[in-house]
């Protein structure tokens, strides 16, 4: 019997401070640049102030990229342009600073943390700080079997919670959340379709490295078959993650929930992060108030999930590469919003009249 009660998150998660947000809005109205002239930057600054419970808003000084990694059994069916079991090679490239996300993080001076949840490799091949939370070697083929056992799903979710606590305790003030996976967009599409009540073809995209039409049709078939397995367990989010998710997706779900508990804002990257966020929203309806959608990757499942959570992407550049790259591009926008909200001067009060108007007296009326 699981000791983890996901319903507890509903009570533990509060919305960002509405009173502080109103104070931030009032302060913005007094600043020298007219309200509304900075567009969405105004909204971002006010959102961040509410998340921090601080007016003026504090600068984002300790952001961190957190990437959960795993291989998915469905990749052996040819639903991904990347080779089955190839996520470990991607992780090594991230650690070596050779991926787009690693290059951007280096340029932006943001540390990157990779957490292995289900890579298909010997954990000894990876640094101990990467492999320390691993649940299993690869997640199951969700069209014919569960991705995880119930125990593994809980372990993965708790691992994500633990990582969130570690980041909050170390002073991380904003997280860019992404994944490093092979086959991960397939369980992501399945979760979104199940939670939004749509068909496989509506949510199935072509992945970070676009696949051809034949591979897309195979992917649709896998999502369709996985959906049949997902629908009977829609009422239990932990069972859903075990049936058609994966260790990395379950960990991201726990991470997002605990970040909301710890009042740590998060920028979501692509479709896998968005699918985990949608599951987390089902657990605790206030949790999405702590998240931003970094960008629109073009994956239909991501668009469906963000629409359901009422999250509007900050950027739309067609970045599909994953691994946090698209969300990292949005980080300077959030930092700019914080700087403008904090540093723009307030309007000077109108100068008092330097001299009083001359007094006039009426001539006495003639009698």
Active site residue ranges? 323
In whole angstroms, what is the distance from residue 89 CA to residue 227 CA? 30
Token readout for 328 is 């990292």
In whole angstroms, what is the distance from residue 198 CA to residue 223 CA? 11
In whole angstroms, what is the distance from residue 304 CA to residue 204 CA? 11
In degrees, to the nearest 5, what angle opens at C-alpha 291 toward C-alphas 50 and 223? Answer: 165
Partners of 67 in the β-ladder:
114, 178
SS3 assignment, position 359? coil
Q: Which residues contact 95 (CB under 8 A, 6 or more apart)?
A: 102, 114, 127, 130
Instruction: Please report which helix (H) or strand (E) contains residue 180, including its range.
Output: strand 174-182
DSSP annotation string for 254-310: HHHHHHHHTT--EEE-SHHHHHHHHHHHHH-TTGGGGEEE-B--S-HHHHHHHHHHT
Partners of 177 in the β-ladder:
66, 268
SS3 assignment, position 233? helix
Among candidate residues 64, 69, 118, 60, the one with its CA nearest the CA of residue 322: 69
Determine contact, residues 254/158, Cβ cutoff 8 Å: yes
In whole angstroms, what is the distance from residue 316 CA to residue 321 CA? 13
């Amino acid at each position: 019997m699981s000791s983890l009660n996901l319903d507890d998150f509903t009570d533990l998660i509060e919305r960002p401070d509405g009173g502080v947000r109103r104070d931030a809005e009032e302060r913005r109205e007094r600043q020298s640049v007219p309200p509304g002239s900075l567009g969405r930057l105004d909204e971002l600054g006010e959102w961040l102030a509410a998340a921090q419970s601080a007016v003026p808003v504090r600068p984002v000084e300790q952001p961190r990229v957190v990437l959960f990694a795993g291989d998915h059994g469905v990749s052996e069916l040819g639903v991904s342009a990347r080779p089955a079991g190839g996520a470990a090679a991607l992780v090594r490239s991230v650690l070596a600073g050779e991926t787009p996300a690693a290059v951007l993080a280096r340029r932006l001076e943001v540390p990157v943390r990779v957490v292995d949840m289900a890579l298909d490799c010997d954990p000894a091949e990876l640094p101990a700080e990467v492999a320390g939370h691993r649940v299993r070697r690869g997640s199951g083929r969700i069209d014919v079997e569960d991705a995880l056992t119930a125990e593994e799903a809980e372990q993965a979710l708790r691992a994500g919670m633990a990582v969130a606590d570690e980041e909050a305790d170390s002073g991380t003030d904003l997280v860019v959340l992404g994944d490093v996976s092979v086959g991960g967009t397939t369980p992501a599409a399945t979760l979104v379709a199940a939670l939004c009540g749509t068909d496989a073809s509506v949510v199935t995209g072509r992945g970070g490295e676009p696949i051809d039409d034949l591979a897309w049709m195979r992917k649709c078939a896998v999502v369709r078959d996985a959906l049949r397995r997902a629908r009977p367990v829609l009422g239990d989010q932990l069972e859903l993650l075990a049936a058609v998710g994966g260790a990395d997706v379950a960990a991201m779900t726990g991470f997002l929930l605990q970040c909301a508990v710890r009042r740590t804002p998060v920028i979501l990257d692509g479709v896998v992060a968005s699918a985990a966020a949608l599951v987390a929203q089902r657990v605790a309806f206030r949790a999405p108030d702590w998240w931003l959608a970094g960008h629109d990757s073009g994956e239909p499942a991501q668009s469906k999930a963000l629409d359901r959570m009422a999250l509007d992407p900050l950027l739309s550049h067609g970045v599909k590469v994953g691994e946090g790259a698209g969300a990292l591009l949005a980080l300077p926008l959030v930092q700019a919003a914080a700087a403008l909200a904090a540093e723009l001067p307030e309007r000077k009060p109108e100068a008092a009249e330097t001299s009083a108007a001359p007094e006039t007296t009426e001539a006495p009326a003639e009698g």
